[in-house]
Amino acid sequence: MATWNSRGLRGSTLEDLVNRTNEQYREKGLALIQKIPTPITPVRMDKENRHITLAYFEQRSTVDYIGAVQGIPVCFDAKECAADTFPLANIHPHQVEFMQAFEKQGGVAFFLIFYSHENQFYYLTLRSLLTFWNRMQEGGRKSFRREELEPQYYLNKKSGFLVPFLDGVQTDLNERE
């Protein structure tokens, strides 16, 4: 069973940015998206400060966020990457399976990738991820490079939104028509 310790703070800056963006979208009536907490069972507590210092995950998480955008169900996972190559080991088979099932039900599933070294956000469609995923399953590369990504899915800062991922959702929907 996986455990949590100090590594639990990885990606917290990205999470904060996405959470604040979700609040902005909710306040403007554009979307209602919630962070899905991963259930944990505490093992060790710092009783003096009332902090959990060691815990284990009760179950595998599926995605980080789920909600609706103008009546369209969406789910996504946010990942941070410090290089131009994204390792597919950062994505788990159960996440891919959940997202495929989610899209079969009419939803939109995607990965929001933050390239921290470039301060750049990217909206990775499930379609694109599956191309890289299937290549890996067939014995190919276990990662993808930024050069392989579709340029129209880079998210440009605008309109005061910290992580304007609804632009990616719109582009994704337009390509499905």
Q: Which residues are annotated as a binding site for Mg(2+)?
A: 62, 64, 77, 95
Give the span between the Cα atoms of 163 and 123, in whole angstroms. Answer: 10
Q: Are 40 and 55 in contact (CB under 8 A)?
A: yes
Nearest Cα to Cα of residue 88 among 35, 37, 39, 128: 128
Q: Which residues pair with 73 in a beta bridge?
A: 68
Binding residues: 62, 64, 77, 95
Give the span between the Cα atoms of 147 and 5, in whole angstroms. Answer: 35
